[in-house]
Amino acid sequence: MVTLSLPPFDYKIKRLEENVLIFDIIRKKYVVLTPEEWVRQHLVHYLINVKGCSPALIAIERGIELYGLPRRFDVVVFDRSGTPWLLVECKAPSVVLSRQVFDQAFRYNITLSAPYVAVTNGVTHFCGKIDQRRGFVFQHDFPEFK
Protein backbone atom coordinates (compact mmCIF):
# COMPACT_ATOMS: atom_id res chain seq x y z
CA MET A 1 0.00 0.00 0.00
CA VAL A 2 0.96 3.63 -0.50
CA THR A 3 2.79 5.53 2.26
CA LEU A 4 0.49 8.21 3.66
CA SER A 5 1.12 11.46 5.52
CA LEU A 6 -0.80 10.10 8.51
CA PRO A 7 1.15 8.31 11.27
CA PRO A 8 1.64 4.56 10.90
CA PHE A 9 -0.17 2.24 13.29
CA ASP A 10 -0.14 -1.43 14.22
CA TYR A 11 -2.65 -3.14 11.96
CA LYS A 12 -3.82 -6.69 11.45
CA ILE A 13 -4.12 -8.06 7.93
CA LYS A 14 -5.27 -11.44 6.71
CA ARG A 15 -6.07 -13.11 3.41
CA LEU A 16 -9.41 -14.60 2.52
CA GLU A 17 -9.32 -16.26 -0.88
CA GLU A 18 -8.25 -13.51 -3.31
CA ASN A 19 -8.96 -10.62 -0.88
CA VAL A 20 -6.66 -8.92 1.59
CA LEU A 21 -8.54 -7.80 4.71
CA ILE A 22 -7.65 -5.30 7.43
CA PHE A 23 -9.11 -5.30 10.94
CA ASP A 24 -11.31 -2.29 11.65
CA ILE A 25 -11.27 -1.44 15.37
CA ILE A 26 -14.49 0.58 15.08
CA ARG A 27 -16.61 -1.98 13.22
CA LYS A 28 -14.76 -4.76 15.09
CA LYS A 29 -14.34 -6.91 12.00
CA TYR A 30 -12.08 -7.48 9.04
CA VAL A 31 -12.95 -5.47 5.93
CA VAL A 32 -11.56 -5.58 2.39
CA LEU A 33 -8.37 -3.56 2.15
CA THR A 34 -8.92 -1.10 -0.68
CA PRO A 35 -6.82 2.06 -1.16
CA GLU A 36 -9.69 4.09 0.35
CA GLU A 37 -9.92 1.72 3.33
CA TRP A 38 -6.17 2.11 3.88
CA VAL A 39 -6.74 5.88 4.19
CA ARG A 40 -9.84 5.43 6.39
CA GLN A 41 -8.01 3.13 8.83
CA HIS A 42 -5.04 5.49 9.10
CA LEU A 43 -7.39 8.41 9.69
CA VAL A 44 -9.34 6.60 12.41
CA HIS A 45 -6.17 5.65 14.28
CA TYR A 46 -4.90 9.24 13.93
CA LEU A 47 -8.15 10.64 15.33
CA ILE A 48 -7.98 8.25 18.29
CA ASN A 49 -4.24 8.26 19.05
CA VAL A 50 -3.34 11.86 18.21
CA LYS A 51 -6.55 13.90 18.40
CA GLY A 52 -8.07 12.21 21.44
CA CYS A 53 -11.31 10.91 19.91
CA SER A 54 -12.97 8.02 21.70
CA PRO A 55 -13.46 4.94 19.50
CA ALA A 56 -16.97 4.68 20.97
CA LEU A 57 -17.85 8.04 19.38
CA ILE A 58 -16.69 7.17 15.85
CA ALA A 59 -18.95 5.75 13.13
CA ILE A 60 -17.70 4.38 9.82
CA GLU A 61 -19.66 3.93 6.59
CA ARG A 62 -23.13 4.39 8.00
CA GLY A 63 -26.17 5.11 5.93
CA ILE A 64 -27.88 8.49 5.82
CA GLU A 65 -30.69 9.84 3.69
CA LEU A 66 -30.05 12.85 1.47
CA TYR A 67 -32.96 14.30 -0.48
CA GLY A 68 -34.78 10.99 -0.14
CA LEU A 69 -31.83 8.97 -1.46
CA PRO A 70 -29.65 6.58 0.54
CA ARG A 71 -26.00 7.62 0.97
CA ARG A 72 -23.08 6.42 3.11
CA PHE A 73 -20.63 8.67 4.90
CA ASP A 74 -17.04 7.59 5.48
CA VAL A 75 -16.26 8.74 9.04
CA VAL A 76 -18.24 10.74 11.58
CA VAL A 77 -17.02 11.59 15.06
CA PHE A 78 -19.79 12.40 17.52
CA ASP A 79 -19.51 14.64 20.55
CA ARG A 80 -20.32 13.26 24.00
CA SER A 81 -24.00 14.14 23.59
CA GLY A 82 -24.24 12.07 20.38
CA THR A 83 -24.32 15.00 17.96
CA PRO A 84 -22.16 14.81 14.81
CA TRP A 85 -19.00 16.84 15.48
CA LEU A 86 -16.66 15.97 12.58
CA LEU A 87 -17.50 14.55 9.16
CA VAL A 88 -14.62 13.19 7.07
CA GLU A 89 -14.83 12.11 3.45
CA CYS A 90 -11.99 9.71 2.60
CA LYS A 91 -10.67 9.03 -0.88
CA ALA A 92 -7.94 6.78 -2.24
CA PRO A 93 -4.47 8.36 -2.42
CA SER A 94 -4.73 8.51 -6.22
CA VAL A 95 -7.88 10.67 -6.07
CA VAL A 96 -7.38 14.42 -6.36
CA LEU A 97 -9.27 16.37 -3.69
CA SER A 98 -11.31 18.36 -6.16
CA ARG A 99 -14.33 20.60 -5.82
CA GLN A 100 -16.51 17.51 -6.37
CA VAL A 101 -15.02 15.82 -3.29
CA PHE A 102 -15.69 18.90 -1.16
CA ASP A 103 -19.22 19.16 -2.60
CA GLN A 104 -19.88 15.53 -1.67
CA ALA A 105 -18.79 16.13 1.93
CA PHE A 106 -20.87 19.30 2.21
CA ARG A 107 -23.94 17.55 0.74
CA TYR A 108 -23.63 14.82 3.39
CA ASN A 109 -23.28 17.50 6.03
CA ILE A 110 -26.67 18.95 5.05
CA THR A 111 -28.09 15.90 6.83
CA LEU A 112 -25.50 15.66 9.62
CA SER A 113 -24.82 19.34 10.47
CA ALA A 114 -21.37 18.65 11.92
CA PRO A 115 -19.47 21.85 12.78
CA TYR A 116 -16.23 20.40 11.33
CA VAL A 117 -15.88 18.92 7.84
CA ALA A 118 -12.76 17.37 6.33
CA VAL A 119 -11.63 15.61 3.18
CA THR A 120 -8.53 13.46 2.86
CA ASN A 121 -6.82 11.14 0.43
CA GLY A 122 -4.27 10.17 3.09
CA VAL A 123 -1.60 12.34 1.51
CA THR A 124 -3.39 15.70 1.52
CA HIS A 125 -5.99 16.77 4.06
CA PHE A 126 -8.30 19.75 4.27
CA CYS A 127 -10.34 20.46 7.36
CA GLY A 128 -12.42 23.40 8.39
CA LYS A 129 -15.07 24.70 10.71
CA ILE A 130 -18.42 25.90 9.52
CA ASP A 131 -18.95 29.43 10.79
CA GLN A 132 -22.42 30.91 10.39
CA ARG A 133 -21.02 34.36 9.53
CA ARG A 134 -17.84 33.54 7.62
CA GLY A 135 -18.80 30.25 5.94
CA PHE A 136 -16.23 27.46 5.82
CA VAL A 137 -13.03 28.46 7.63
CA PHE A 138 -10.03 26.25 6.88
CA GLN A 139 -8.06 24.91 9.85
CA HIS A 140 -4.37 23.99 9.92
CA ASP A 141 -5.16 20.49 11.17
CA PHE A 142 -7.97 18.25 12.33
CA PRO A 143 -9.51 19.61 15.55
CA GLU A 144 -8.56 18.29 18.97
CA PHE A 145 -11.39 16.35 20.61
CA LYS A 146 -12.34 17.84 23.97
Measure the CA–CA gap between 114 and 20, rounded to whole angstroms.
33
Give the pTM. 0.93
Residues in the chain: 146
Strand partners, 122: none
pLDDT for 118 equals 97
The whole-number pLDDT of residue 2 equals 82
pLDDT at 132: 85
Report pLDDT for 107.
94
Between CA 25 and CA 48 the distance in angstroms is 11
d(CA 16, CA 85): 35
The secondary structure of 71-128, three-state, reads EECCEEEECCCCCEEEEEEECCCCCCCCHHHHHHHHHHHHHHCCCEEEEECCCCEEEE
Mean pLDDT by 10 residues, the chain (146 residues): 91 95 98 97 98 97 91 96 97 96 94 96 96 91 91
Residue 19 C-beta-side C-alpha neighbours within 13 Å: 9
